[in-house]
């Protein structure tokens, strides 16, 4: 079987992977969580573009699917966990826990990396996630975590290590939860069937114009809340 490694979509996927690797270095070596966030954002753009390019050029391949998951694991699984670890290592305990316990809590964010692996593996074999997601998408989780870490360091906000550990566990659970979350894959441009997408896009645009970088965690948290409420309403019906 002839396997074509070097295609345009694959190069874009590799760019995603490289952005994730550089984000990890930015967090751990340079201590620059703003750059780490920007690189994760760039990885998310590449993640969108590789699929769009593959559809445009009709360059689908099984190796592209596998490569995409491997890149996502680094950029949206390991990199955001490292950013949260870097933030936790600079934090203090509000409960006056011992240094040993605090050191252990600093590693809790890596639970997100483990659950991201489960999330990505499930996505590859789940045929029900074409128009919506089952669980929190890894790019959304990565952008949320890295933006929180960036804003905390940039604004000089001291976040308790207990809160970082708690948020990490909640997000890890959301990654593999059964909650159905809407995607931005439009089957048509009609309002019918896309009302939630259009309304949310309008909300996100207004939030960005008014709050700038502070809008990023707000947008993603709102996405999680709205998706969860819609899922609960559908289940009750």
HSE of 94, CA atoms in CB hemisphere, 13 A: 8
Q: Which tokens sit at 19?
A: 């952005």
- Please list the pLDDT of the chain residue by residue as tens digits (237 residues): 566 767 888 899 999 999 999 999 999 999 999 999 999 999 999 999 988 887 787 777 778 788 999 999 999 999 999 999 999 999 888 787 888 899 999 999 999 999 999 999 998 888 887 778 999 999 999 999 999 999 999 998 888 999 999 999 999 999 999 999 988 876 666 777 788 889 999 999 999 999 999 999 999 999 999 999 999 998 887
Residue 61: per-residue pLDDT: 77
**Threshold 0.85, pTM exceeds:** yes
CB atoms within 10 A of CB 187: 9
- Strand segments (E) across 135-191: 180-182
Return d(Cα 175, Cα 197) in angstroms, integer: 21
CB atoms within 10 A of CB 60: 12
Instruction: Please give the biggest Cα pair distance in the chain.
Output: 60
Residue 3: per-residue pLDDT: 66
Return d(Cα 87, Cα 153) in angstroms, integer: 8
Q: By the 8 A CB rule, do 76 and 20 touch?
A: yes
Return d(Cα 131, Cα 210) in angstroms, integer: 30
């Amino acid at each position: 079987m002839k396997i074509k490694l070097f295609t345009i979509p694959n190069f874009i996927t590799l760019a995603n992977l490289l952005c994730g690797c550089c984000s990890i270095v930015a967090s751990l070596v340079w201590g620059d969580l703003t750059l780490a966030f920007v690189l994760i954002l760039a990885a998310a753009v590449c993640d969108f573009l590789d699929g769009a390019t593959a559809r445009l050029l009709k360059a689908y391949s099984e190796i592209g699917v596998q490569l995409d998951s491997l890149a996502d694991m680094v950029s949206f699984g390991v990199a955001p966990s490292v950013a949260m670890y870097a933030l936790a290592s600079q934090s203090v305990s509000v409960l006056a826990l011992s240094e040993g316990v605090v050191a252990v809590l600093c590693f809790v964010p890596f639970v997100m990396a483990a659950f991201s692996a489960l999330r990505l593996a499930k996505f590859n074999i789940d045929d029900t996630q074409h128009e919506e997601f089952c669980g929190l998408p890894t790019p959304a989780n990565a952008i949320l975590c890295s933006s929180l870490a960036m804003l905390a360091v940039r604004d000089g906000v001291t976040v308790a290590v207990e809160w970082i550990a708690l948020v990490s566990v909640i997000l890890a659970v959301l990654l593999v939860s059964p909650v159905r979350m809407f995607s931005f894959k439009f089957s048509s441009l009609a309002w019918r069937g896309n009302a939630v997408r259009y309304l949310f896009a309008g909300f996100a645009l207004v939030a960005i114009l008014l709050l700038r970088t502070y809008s990023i965690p707000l947008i993603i948290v709102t996405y999680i809340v709205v998706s969860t409420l819609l899922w609960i309403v559908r289940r009750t019906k």
